[in-house]
Amino acid sequence: MISLRQRFVLLYAKLFKADQQFHCLLHRKYSAGKEARTTDATFCGMLIALKTSDSICEVDMDSAQNFFLTGCASGIGQHLADRLLANGHKVWATDVNLPALTRHAELQHWPEERVRVRQLDVRNAEAWDAAVNEAVSELGSIDVLMNIAGYLWADKFYEMPAEEVDLNIDVNAKGVIFGTQAAARQMIKQGHGHIINISSMAGLVPIQSLAIYSASKYAVRGFSLAAAQELRPHGIFVTVVCPDAVETPMTARQRERAEAAILFSSPKLLTVEAVGDAIIRRVLTHRPLELYLPIHRGLLARLTDLFPSLAFPLGPLFAKRGRSHQLHMRKDAKAS
């Protein structure tokens, strides 16, 4: 009889070849056949459950809420700030790059009566406390915190300078922790709130040449899941979102770098619009504990985390695919 491990290897091979709906493959593989072992069925059930929402209740997003966002000068944070303001919400938009954030706010004609633009270095715990206090004094409350600010630089971990290590850990991990602490203290007083922390697919599976980044994003996910347990009794929900590589300026800076090839292993990068849709339509309304984007890549990552040795043969294959995609991107850029 084929072993469970062999089954997973076969599934990986199919996924790598087609890069299509992994959860459907998994469901067909394990739901058919009467002689499937109990352990297999139980494990399959656990994985299939990952694609469903674990919401407690739905939230009415038609009523205006107060949002506190980081990383709003570009990428996901910028897009979400645009969307939330267009939907009539109040937004406290922050970024370490205040000039870029201000320029975007002016270009998009952000409504002054519903938005405040502020500089915030998420690495500074005192700055977080001051920012949250100012936001509460003006808005009255913070309904949702979105920790979006992040930093990425791909390199072999043993060649990465200490300052790059610090940036990865301080921005990605400590920034989320400090922000969650500051917001949680206020939300406990309110008796409600929702904290959304952006991790990464690299927070589900260790990725070569992204060892430090993976460490920081594993920290975000682990911290968020633990914080959710502590805050739920206070009426506060925590969601950790783990997207695959997203088409943002931060990712674009890695296109020419061989060390970052695996970032581009997916046939197409996620767009900020796709991430924004998932957060607005699923995370804000259903408040799940975690969300993977896309789900089939998330399940693949979880399996690699369960069987780490699979990363040795699969990592180079995905890196090869990524290099091919990088080459096509460079050709398209020259053609345009």
**Annotated catalytic sites, by residue?**
213
CA 330 to chain centre: 26
DSSP 8-class letter at 283: I
| First-last CA distance in the chain | 54
* Cβ-contact 147, 180 below 8 angstroms: yes
Q: How far apart are CA 117 and CA 16, in angstroms?
A: 43
**118-154 as b/e: b if 16+ CB within 10 A:** bebbbbbeebbeebbeebbeebeebbbbbbbbbbbbb
Q: 266: helix, coil or strand?
A: coil
In the chain, which ranges are E strands?
66-69, 90-95, 115-119, 144-147, 193-198, 236-243, 290-293
198, 215, 201: which is closest to 264 by C-alpha? 201
Question: Which CA distances in Å does 133 have to 80, 126, 130, 183, 193?
Answer: 22, 11, 5, 9, 15
List CB contacts of 81: < 8 A, sequence separation 6 or more. Answer: 69, 72, 91, 93, 110, 115
Q: How far apart are CA 54 and CA 289, in angstroms?
A: 6
Q: How far apart are CA 199 and CA 205, in angstroms?
A: 12
27 beta partners: none
293 beta partners: 243
